[in-house]
Amino acid sequence: MLLDDLNEPQKQAVSHIKGPLLILAGPGSGKTRVITHRIAYLIEQGVPSWEILAMTFTNKAAGVMKERVKNLVHGNCYSFISTFHSFCAYILRQHCEILGYQKDFTIYDTDDQKRALKHVLDILNIDVGSNVNNTLSRISYYKNKGMEPRDIPSQNYNIWSKQFIRIYTEYQKYLFQNNALDFDDLLLKTVELFTNYKDVLNVYQEKYKYILVDEYQDTNILQYKIIKFLGEKHKNVCVTGDPDQSIYSWRGANIGNILSFENDFPETLVVKLETNYRSTGHILKAASHVIKHNQLRKDKELWSIKELGNLIRVVEVPEEMDEAIFIAQEISRWKYNYKLRDIVIFYRMNAQSRYLESALRTRHIPYIVVGGLAFYQRAEIKDILAYLRIIINEKDDVSLTRILNVPPRKIGKKALETIYAMARKYNSSLMEVMQKDETLSLLSRQASHQIHIFLDMIESIRNMTDTSLVERVTTLLKTSGYADYIEKQDQKKDEDRMENIKELLISIQEYEKVTKSNDLSIYLQNISLMESTDKENAKEEDYVTLMTLHSAKGLEFPIVYIVGGVEGVLPHQRSLDAEGFEELEEERRLFFVGMTRAKERLTITYPKETMRYSYNWTGGNMHSNDPSRFLDELPISSIEKISYNTYNRERFY
């Protein structure tokens, strides 16, 4: 029954049990369906479900996979289906003590990392100005390459390189002292564990005899090593992906992992999923025509089950403002035949959204910019989570620093400096030195008193282990004064903040109901592992979606617009200036991904002129654009060229 509704290549991929398998899945070819059917088929053939490990990149994708498998097997499935980071967090919870960490370690997100780095910079007396994000990105770059500070080559060091190694070294030391790991550490420390402790590795090689990896083209070197470690014994490794959709090299993804899979596992069966169920014939033909200009790929012949459909429109406009007006005018007409959520506008860079937003706003067209502030990134939510983190992990200085004076407790700057100095003196956490009589004796009576109250409050909630999470958080809101603090703020300004807090309590209640668990540590782990890019859509509103092309993966829309089809934008100028062809090929893959999100209609626009600001900040000037080379690669038989001009256009700012 599991094979009945699959095409022949899909059946072949699902029914291959023993040995390595590479599934080359073109866009819209039913990849997720194949993966879930394969898991169900393995179970049907007698493979214990708990011997199956499936990994992907987003919580949403993992959730979809779990639900579909559950429906297919008509019962309980004990397969481990998760993101890479969740899997690694699970491994490290079991064995982190070998590496010197306690099991209740905190997982730092981006905001926590910034706080930690700023503290490190203060200790080192290093000023990086506004380059905190760049410094963290550089740390992440080396971690994703599997490199600790000691592994960075020392030749040809300049002053900044030496300084960076000091920062990286102290940053890792600080995380260790705080019993904390960042997201990259989850992968890095798992690789360290598997490399140095073969007995631990053997446990998981025997536990997970069948391994499936989704979107394998997006794996970095650490994820690659984890899969290779786990699969080298039984070799039952199945990876799915498409080199033509590898667009994340900037965050460490290595296209070479999927291109060399057959070298890593010589007996690999290769199955190509080439039937597209998403896009019309013209869209797929054009996309295939463009991507064949790349060298770093595995050839596929994509074909659509749909009719040719509408021609792809390539629209020339005078400038970016006209680009936005043209699209807004069209959407005003589309909305009578389509829902607004059927429409997406893709751009290469976030800065390109300004005109689009203005044009949509002018015509009263609702829209959402993907990448806005997510629920768990809102300040009041971060505050409460910081309280909860310090309750389970008193070494977490980042969380303590965030909430020690929130709400205001009159613990002044001088008192804080004293506490920091004592922490450095004893090489201890802030919480540990705050409990020392020696520290308190150095503080003012008021500061000492407030710290006593704070410590007592934290300890009392820490001892509420027999109560529900909701009760603990409710008690925390009251006893910490945080609820009163929010309510006393300007009501109009902070009404949403209180509603967010109420929504958090509802989500905790739902979590406990589903999981039947009041384990605060595991709850916080689940929150930490939620991707900041996950969109919170509590209300079912109808809106046009705006997003970068890098956010397009895994999505589909009946109507797609791709704007800014000019040299220097798409492809990006950085790829044009780079040595070699790799970066330019990734830009072409990015364009390919954007094109193949379209189900029915695809429009590509490009402005003849663009306003650009001078490098010396003296003002902006209009510059002529060259149409993107990717437009010249589109087959003439599948496109319609349009020149759009508006002389009495509406102006907006």
Q: Residues with catalytic annotation?
A: 31-32, 214-215, 245, 597
Q: Helix 183-196 vs helix 132-144: angle between axes, to the nearest 10 degrees?
A: 30
Three-state DSSP at 11 gives helix
Six-digit token pair at 96? 């982190």
Q: 106-108 and 180-182 as β-strands: parallel, antiparallel, unpaired?
A: parallel
How far from the centroid of its chain's Cα atoms is residue 346's Cα? 18
Residue with tokens 């406009």: 317
Six-digit token pair at 265? 């596992």
Distance CA 606, CA 569 (A): 10
> Is 204 exposed, middle or buried (CB count within 10 Å of its CB: 0-12, 13-18, 19+)?
buried
Distance CA 338, CA 373 (A): 28
Distance CA 186, CA 151 (A): 18
The Cα-based distances of 26 to 188, 250, 253, 279, 594 in angstroms read 31, 22, 18, 12, 13
Angle (CA) 646-650-651 rounded to 5° is 115
> Is 600 exposed, middle or buried (CB count within 10 Å of its CB: 0-12, 13-18, 19+)?
middle
Beta bridge partners of 642: 315
Distance CA 100, CA 119 (A): 22
What strand order describes the sheet that includes 210-213? 80-83, 52-56, 210-213, 237-241, 21-25, 269-273
Secondary structure (DSSP) of 477-540: HHHTSHHHHHHTS-HHHHHHHHHHHHHHHHHHHHHHHHH----HHHHHHHHHTS-TT-----S-
Within 411-471, strands assigned E span: none
The Cα-based distances of 431 to 22, 184, 395, 422, 460 in angstroms read 51, 26, 7, 11, 15
